[in-house]
Amino acid sequence: MSNTIDNALNWCFKKSVWVYHVNAGGCNGCDIEILDALTPYYDVERFGIKLVHTPRHADALLVAGPVTRQVRERVLRIYEATPDPKLVVGVGSCAMGGGIWHNSYATLGGLGNVLPVAIYIPGCPPRPEAILYGVAQALGLVPQQVKKQEYLEVT
Amino acid sequence: MNLADISLAVLYTLVFPGFLFTAVVGLFLTWVDRKVTAVIQSRMGPPWFQPFADIGKLLSKRMIIPRGVRTVGFIGAPLLSVAGATLASVIVFLALFDPTVGFMGDLIVLVYLSMMPAIALIIGGASSRSPFGAIGASREMSMVLAYEVGFLLAVVTVIMQTGSIRFAEILAYQAQNGAVLWSLSGFIAAAVMILCMQAKLGFLPFDISEADTELIGGPLAEYSGVGLALFKLSRAMMFFFLPVFVVLIFTGAPQLNLLSILGFLVKLLMVLVLLILIKITHARLRLDQALRFFWTKVGLAGLVAVAFALLGL
């Protein structure tokens, strides 16, 4: 019985994702692409995805940017303000590993150093289709196409 | 009052014309709203189960109670909202399905109960300790004072024409003497009522207190999980019983034959589509513009309707 309810609630979560859009010190390129992905042309409402304006209503945080030192505190507060269960999606090259700011003193070198990230979407900036595909993959709506690979540095 | 009466009352309130029925149909109508909006914006729009998935997801989420909120008000407001919407829908649908149950003055009680969700928004926003909530609550308060005038004047017109404050008697009067809508005063009152309903439902151009893009949800800004789900649910219930209420008091109840019931549903759909069309073809008004609109134009039209009703037109 409780299993059935869990399954139903899981299904609801997958069919209704409200996203909140965070700029963690990015150059605005990814933000513009995120907004493109939310236009009527791509019609994300048919997947149940909706832009909300406060983290309290959000299920997924779309974070763009390399996370500067200044913005770290704010990103953490937004993360804490989001009710569980929640997903963090890193959008763009900067969120993946700092991008061109990977070794700058002013950034923390990517979102992975600050928050537990569910999925990264590569690109500078990623296309709107890629953002939609990434969110769908994080929810398990489409199959994963690339396996995770790990490499060890030979000393 | 014996046990059977009490259990019947509980059943009425929680299941059939009350909470469950209104919530399910109301959520479905919310989908109609979103689908019509999508079609007019030439997109596909959400699948039919979207509002149900939204509510299910919100119920599965943790409700955050921020530090420093007035706990009683913050938790009580969503419950008050749903309770008001439930009781109001019970009165509306019992008048439709079982006219013998009503009591003298249930129309007045209904007018007060339908105000409860707005009052709950004010309480919730004011106790949430968020500046957005406080601004939203104060805007909602000004709006309630403005649009309730027109709403009450429209109801008063119907009361004067039919000579009764009992819902079932109003329906019986219209079954005999024809719809209130087709008199001059009734027509003006119906137009006033539609505009006030737009504001009561928090639709554009009057969604000033929530204003997603400037107040990030206003009173709802600090709500998450169950609290937000209950507010959305009561909004969906209002989107069902208020149009039914308007169709009932202006055109009467359907007779027990297929054509009449179909006609009733078509009228209901027309009111819904009218509300949705106003919503998606207008931009949000400022608070002062909306207040001026309701106090002068709508209020004046309401007074004219009452005057015509006095003259018997």
Pairing, β A119-121 against β A60-64: unpaired
Segment B130-138 shows an average pLDDT of 89
Segment B72-77 shows an average pLDDT of 89
List CB contacts (< 8 A) between B129 and chain A.
none
A73–B contact, CB cutoff 8 A:
no
A43–B contact, CB cutoff 8 A:
yes
> Looking at the domain that runs over A2-139, which CATH code has it been given?
3.40.50.12280
Residue B1 binned pLDDT confidence (cut-offs 50, 70, 90)? low
Interface A-B: count of C-beta contacts within 8 A:
82
Q: If we measure between CA atoms, which residue out of A85, A93, A95 comes closest to residue A21?
A: A95
Bond from prior residue into B205 cis (ω within 30 degrees of 0): yes
For A40, nearest residue in chain B (alpha carbons): B43
List CB contacts (< 8 A) between A83 and chain B.
61-64, 224-225
Q: How far is B304 from chain A (nearest CA, A)?
A: 42
pTM (predicted TM-score):
0.88
What ipTM was estimated for this complex?
0.83
Contact A122, A115 (CB under 8 A): no
Q: How far is CA B206 from CA A17, A105, A140, A143, B62, in A?
A: 27, 48, 39, 43, 31
In this complex, the residue of B44, B57, B228 whose CB is nearest that of residue A12 is: B57
A54–B contact, CB cutoff 8 A:
yes
Contact B123, B163 (CB under 8 A): no
% of chain A residues with pLDDT over 90: 16
As for how many domains chain B has, the answer is 1
Question: pLDDT tens-digit profile of A84-117?
Answer: 888 899 998 988 888 888 888 888 888 888 889 8
| A67-71, B17-21, B98-102 — most confident range | A67-71
Q: How far is B166 from chain A (nearest CA, A)?
A: 41
Task: Please check the confidence at residue B152 and state whether its pLDDT lies above 80.
Answer: yes
Residue B207 binned pLDDT confidence (cut-offs 50, 70, 90)? confident
Q: CB distance B45–A83 less than 8 Å?
A: no
Q: Pull the structure tokens for residue B88.
A: 């109001």
Q: If we measure between CA atoms, which residue out of B94, B91, B255 comes closest to residue B172?
A: B255
Contact A93, A102 (CB under 8 A): no
Domain locations in chain A?
2-139
Question: pLDDT tens-digit profile of B114-125?
Answer: 889 999 999 988
Domain interval for residue B206: 3-311
